[in-house]
Structure 1
Amino acid sequence: MTLKYRPILVAPLLLALAGCISLGGEPPESLLTLSPETRAPAGPGVSGADRPVIAVLGIDTPAKLDVLRVPVAVSDTELAYLQEAFWVEKPARLFRRLVGETIRARGAAMVVDGDDAATLATVSLRGTLIDLGYDAQASAAVVRFDAVRIDREGAVTTRRFEARETGVPAEARAVGAALNAASNQVAAEVADWVAGG
């Protein structure tokens, strides 16, 4: 007899449990990404022994950027995340692809992506994306990247790149556009630096 009542008792328990478990909130209306201002044209790529082969390797980030949210520096010691602002994927991957495409579009070097392709490279680029977020006190979108260039002989050169877009309201669409512009500025400076040696 207890077998007959067991399904009846389990159903209310499952209904009560469903109210406690969230399988995800409302999906965002849109997702942010980084888009290159210039792209390499379709067709044959760059070739020639006189041009460097650059491997754009993995980019590190602090924990605040290892998420799909846009960090907001509220003060020197406080951090929040911008409401309704979500990246389509983690910022390090977006920025890595942006830098690779920017170098490729300039046509001065061959670009190979992925850690496995590093053995083909004459120059490797890696680094740490320190900031890709919003400064609430300055109403600014900030991108800061510590780049590391390693040549074939193993010589290491480092440089910090930074770009700011000011006068940006704390709204997802405006901050996303400003971060894209600042990221493209940094990517262009990195491309000139890493390919120029």
Structure 2
Amino acid sequence: MMAKFLAAFIVICAVGAGAAIYYLQVYAYYEEVKLRPGLDVVLVPQTGDDSRAIAYGDFQAIDASSSPIRYRACFTTELTRDELAQSYTVLQGQKPRIAPGWFDCFDAQALGAELEAGTATAFLSVKNISYGVDRVVAVTDDGKGYVWHELNNCGKKAYDGTVVGETCPDLPVASQ
């Protein structure tokens, strides 16, 4: 009888821990980002480093303080991909990160397919928004826009343990 009780207790604890981990990963740390008109959607011009705002509407975004790559946003714009590509820095080979299922405006698989098919273009929004992390904006042919954070080369090196090198900024000092 004691063995059945212990087995049931272990199963209940495992299910509870699994549910807690799922909740923490998908729901707990995310917060809705407050709208900052004129600052939410910016792109880096081909001729400079300072990001410039573009016209946008229907903006919604989520972020989490637990990780610099959890930011996701959606918006609409009247500007075409070609108009933007003439003035702003285009990125190649970008793959959007999956958003939580409840943030239904951001479909990473569909956006990834559009980027591969050439019906969407990715642009650099902010370089090193957090150490080793860039903000990426993608715009589709139908005027929908998406924003996410992606590790840049310095971030990839810093997080996989290889030598960062001279081309990367100094690593931030961790406060203790």
* Interval containing the TM-score (normalised by the shorter chain): under 0.3
TM-score by length of 2: 0.27
| Larger relative contact order (CA 8 Å, sep ≥ 6) | 1
The structure with the largest helix share of the pair is 1
TM-score by length of 1: 0.25
